[in-house]
Amino acid sequence: MSGRLVLAAALGAAVLAPLVAPTYQALLMLPFMAYAVALLGLNLLFGYTGLVSFGHALFLGIGAYTGAFLTSVFKVRSMEVILVAAAALGALVAAPVGALCVRYVKIYFGMLTLAFGMVFYTFVLKFYRLTGGDEGMPFLRPALVGRSLEDLPKTDYLVGPYYYYSLAVLVLATLVMWRIVRSPFGLCLKTIRDNPLKAESLGVSVPRYRWYAFMISAVYAAAGGALLATPTGNVDPTLAYWTHSGNIVFMVLLGGFSSFFGPLLGAFAFIFLQDTVMSVFPYWRLVFGAMLAFIVIFAPSGLMGLFARRRPVETSRA
């Protein structure tokens, strides 16, 4: 089956899921779609630019807290405004953080992003009066496309309008990212990933393009964070904790960072696998740890690598 058919089938299944799947499974699709948006951005940094961030939960947290502040403090309930504000705030924070981080590579870059993530985590944990500390803040139900939908029972809201809203955001985010990675800008990122010295000799400003990629990935992560927090109705500091950053890196590895759709598959597999494993075995982290070791050693291309044994050739026709 060609890639396009698989994609169409996956999209069709996602559209039909709330209608045919059990409600519980449809609800599990919500964090998948939120993470998928964030991972599209993270993989621009990881798979296309060659930088591994261990602190991207920072931006998920920013997106989630932006929504919480807007809905519960400023009484702004429009999801469109929340998403735009989350993205803008994500970019605003990413600008100085990224400018510092992209001066370093490999483990130093990873550790620096981790450090900034922990600074934000400590901030939201300790500034109790502002953020509610470890109890977090309420994220009130947002209105979708100008419709308040307050009268709907929560589950109906989530597996109905909110589900399709999330799906629409994911499709839009995917289309935009698809375009980005196939643009001249995307090619510049790939040259940096493959050989920064050579990229520089061809006139590609390596720090500048890394910074752009960092900003875009932060925008995606913040939007994903806002989508992620809506179903729970509450945000707390664990969203920005380093283990959360580790989880999203794991999702990318699980799906395969060298493929455009790998991280999305990784998010899907992670969410449903976590749910399944947790229901039968309390030490789910043990299982996931073993899986991570297996992937790194035996399947570095992730689940997508099982379908396509090698990275597709980058040609002008791609």
Partner 1 sequence: MILEAHDIRKLYGAYVALDSVSLSIREGEFVSIIGPNGAGKSTLINVLTGVLPPSGGTVRFKGRDIAGIGTVALTRLGMARSFQLVQIFPELSVLVTLQAAVISRLGRGARLLSSLGADREVHADALEVATLFGLGDKAHALARELPQGDKKLLDVASAFALRPEIILLDEPTSGVSTADKHVVMDILVKAAKRIGLRAIIQVEHDMDIVFGYSDRIIALHQGKVLADATPAAIQADARVVDMVVGRRRH
- Minimum Å distance from CB 179 to partner 1? 5
- Minimum Å distance from CB 187 to partner 1? 5
> Which residue in 67, 62, 46, 70 sits closest to 119, CA to CA?
62
Cβ closer to partner 1: 211 or 250?
211
- Contact partners, residue 99, CB within 8 Å, separation at least 6: 211
- Minimum Å distance from CB 108 to partner 1? 21
Q: Are 204 and 188 in contact (CB under 8 A)?
A: yes
> Which residue in 179, 238, 137 sits closest to 48, CA to CA?
179
The distance of Cα 248 from the centroid of its chain, to the nearest Å, equals 7
Cβ closer to partner 1: 65 or 212?
212
Cβ closer to partner 1: 153 or 184?
184
Distance between CA atoms of residues 317 and 43, nearest Å: 21
Distance between CA atoms of residues 245 and 58, nearest Å: 8
Which spans of this chain sit near partner 1 (rule: CB under 8 A)?
Answer: 176, 179-180, 182-188, 190-191, 193-195, 197-205, 209, 212, 311, 313-318
Distance between CA atoms of residues 98 and 214, nearest Å: 6
Cβ closer to partner 1: 135 or 194?
194
Cβ closer to partner 1: 145 or 318?
318
- Minimum Å distance from CB 171 to partner 1? 16
Counting Cα atoms < 13 Å in the Cβ hemisphere of 288 gives 25
- Minimum Å distance from CB 96 to partner 1? 20
The one-letter amino acid at 208: R
Cβ closer to partner 1: 179 or 285?
179
